Amino acid sequence: MTVTGIGVTPTTQRFREKLPTRRRYLMCEPRYFDVRYTINPWMDPTVPVDADLALRQWRFLVETYRRLGHQIDFIDPLPGNPDMVFAANGATVANGKVYGTKFRYEQRVAEGPAYLEWLKAAGFRQEQKTTFVNEGEGDFLVVGSRLLAGTGFRTDPQAHAEAGEALGLPVVSLELVDPRYYHLDTALSVLSVGGDEGDEIAYFPGAFTRSSQATLQLLYPHAVIATARDAASFGLNAVSDGYHVVLPGDAIALASALRDRGYQPVPVELGELRKAGGGPKCCTLELRS
């Protein structure tokens, strides 16, 4: 566990009015989506996948973002890459810079160069080559002026410092221990940044080592704590614009807790994509200029 270059932001028990900000997202149509192999505990190739339903659910997510006022860009899916719909794993983007992905499993290796090519064409720059295995925003979450970095199942811990240098952000390393929450974005959500009470997150403590739980308690003493049931429903694989929080509709307790904090939960259904271990955040790569 490492914590580098960070300070604890003062917080209060009184939560400010939440304000949405317009975001830019990159997404990939699930044209070739299927579950053909097993690289996480949610994937079972013997369970049928309804590709048409997966596409309809994904399109509803796109329209939800558009209805909330966000800009959506699209990358063309590559044949033979059924997990390319999970755009969050394609890279990490902050301050107009890109830290490229280097996938752990052979089945997804081709996705990394495809996302990097798209990002370069869109004007984002990669200032250094990616050396270590990492899976993009699956394990790297930008929270205000710091980068929360996950490890334990996919991302090499040596990638944390490399990502921080590439993006110009101090890094907080967090270790995952439950294979169901194989990426950081399945166990922790970024809700809002800045303001009198500092940055706000939600997370499920059971996904982390004790030392990582202590780090999160120190940095985010007023975080929203998710239940085990809501974590298992991928409730934390959510996307927030600072007010609206797009999350699976069956994360009921989490939605209630968010309302109590002044957020507006926006439920979506991505049950078919969940068969591959994905939710709203997995499908969404934020493009931060």
**What band does 208 get if pLDDT is binned at 50, 70 and 90?**
very high
For residues 174 and 58, give the distance between their C-alpha atoms in angstroms, rounded to a whole number. Answer: 30
What band does 198 get if pLDDT is binned at 50, 70 and 90?
Answer: confident
Helix (H), strand (E), coil (C) string for the chain: CCECCCCCCCCCCCCCCCCCCCCEEEEECCCCCCCCCCCCCCCCCCCCCCHHHHHHHHHHHHHHHHHCCCEEEEECCCCCCCCCCCHHHHEEEECCEEEECECCCHHHCCHHHHHHHHHHHCCCECCCCCCCCECHHHCEEEECCEEEEEECCCCCCHHHHHHHHHHCCCEEEEEECCCCCCCHHHCEEEEECCCCCCCEEEECHHHECHHHHHHHHHHCCCCEECCHHHHHCCCCCCEECCCEEEEECCCHHHHHHHHHCCCEEEEECCHHHHCCCCCCCCCCEECCC
pLDDT at 128 (0 to 100)? 87
63-107-287 Cα angle (round to 5): 35
Active site residue 70: no
Whether residue 200 is predicted with pLDDT greater than 90 in this model: the reply is yes
User: Annotated catalytic residue: which of 28, 70, 160, 183?
Assistant: 183
Q: Give me the pLDDT at residue 51, please.
A: 96
CATH 3.30.9.10 fits 24-286, yes or no: no
Task: Look at residue 243 in the predicted model and tell me its pLDDT.
Answer: 97
- Summarised one tens digit per residue, pLDDT across range 41-72 is 999 999 999 999 999 999 999 999 999 999 99
Give pTM, 2 decimals: 0.93
283: annotated active-site residue: no
The one catalytic residue in 70, 160, 282, 283 is 282
Q: Please check the confidence at residue 8 and state whether its pLDDT lies above 70.
A: no
